[in-house]
Amino acid sequence: MAFQKKEKNGGFSVLPRHLGIIMDGNGRWAKKRGLPRTAGHRAGADVFKDISKECGKLGIEQVTFYAFSTENWKRPKEEVDTLMKLFHDFLITARKNIEESDDMKIKFIGERQGLDPELVSLMEEAEIQTAEKPGTLINLAINYGGRQEIVSAVNRLISHGKTKITEQDISDNVYTLPDCDLIIRPSGEHRLSNFLLWQAAYSEFWYSDVLWPDFKKKDLHKALRDFESRNRRFGG
């Protein structure tokens, strides 16, 4: 069920209750400008901040951003280090501005093992400090893989003694619910790339050729306008 809101919703009659965004195209954006890939990620981080604020203004209940996949460790060390530093710096700034910051809650989804312990403690701090905020829940997927999420849900169930598993059991043990209503992927790629596999069973998809660092509020609005007109039947 999509999320209906009368106020604060930018004039949309229906908004996705859970929106997923695959932030893609940073490398190509940088290459086009003769810059290192890391410059693309820096520009992409600024867009992440703008777009999450806009989602907050629109009153979308939950937005999941794909920031670092379990496969992204294969990238050159300099690129991985830059991404980790961007997450770190974002959290340091968020901590400083916690009082006056927007109403948004922050949560991290993905495997924490393997991440720098200092980063993990900043992540936990941000989750605790924003848990009671009334606004949009921003999930940042870091060291995240959809298959890994399902496998760890199943392993948790097994460790609790379950021998027969239902769909509801898995839903109860994935990182985040509800099901994802809409997935936005910029940069011209039409793939899911191991993102929200469980939650995407009935997702609508919206693609654009715009590279993530060039993605603007108007692109988000275009996607939401399109979503509003979709006829969702959920297999019925």
Instruction: Give the residue numbers marked as catalytic.
Output: 24, 72
Q: Which is nearer to ligand FPP, 2 or 119 (CB)?
A: 119
| Contact range with ligand FPP by CB under 6 A, out of 44-52, 176-184, 199-207, 217-225 | 44-52
Q: What are phi and psi of 132, to 5 degrees?
A: -95, 0
Contact of 40 with 26, CB cutoff 8 Å:
yes
Contact of 17 with 203, CB cutoff 8 Å:
no
Asked if 86 interacts with ligand FPP (CB under 6 A), we say yes
Q: Which is nearer to ligand FPP, 3 or 90 (CB)?
A: 90
Asked if 20 interacts with ligand FPP (CB under 6 A), we say no
CB of 173 to ligand FPP, least distance (A): 25
Q: How far apart are CA 22 and CA 199, in angstroms?
A: 14
Q: How far apart are CA 214 and CA 78, in angstroms?
A: 23
CB of 37 to ligand FPP, least distance (A): 6
> DSSP alpha helices (H): ranges in the chain?
26-32, 37-58, 77-96, 117-130, 146-159, 167-173, 217-228
Please, which residues have CB within 8 angstroms of residue 203's CB and are 6 or more apart in sequence? 20, 179, 180, 181, 182, 183, 196
Q: Which is nearer to ligand FPP, 41 or 105 (CB)?
A: 41
Asked if 24 interacts with ligand FPP (CB under 6 A), we say yes
Asked if 23 interacts with ligand FPP (CB under 6 A), we say yes
Asked whether the CA dihedral 188, 235, 220, 222 is positive or negative, the reply is positive
Asked if 67 interacts with ligand FPP (CB under 6 A), we say yes
Which residue has tokens 């109860």? 172
CB of 236 to ligand FPP, least distance (A): 35
Per CB under 6 A, the list member of 25, 110, 145, 186 interacting with ligand FPP is 25
Binding residues (CB under 6 A) for ligand FPP: these are 23-28, 37, 41, 44-45, 48, 67, 72, 83, 86-87, 90, 140, 187, 212
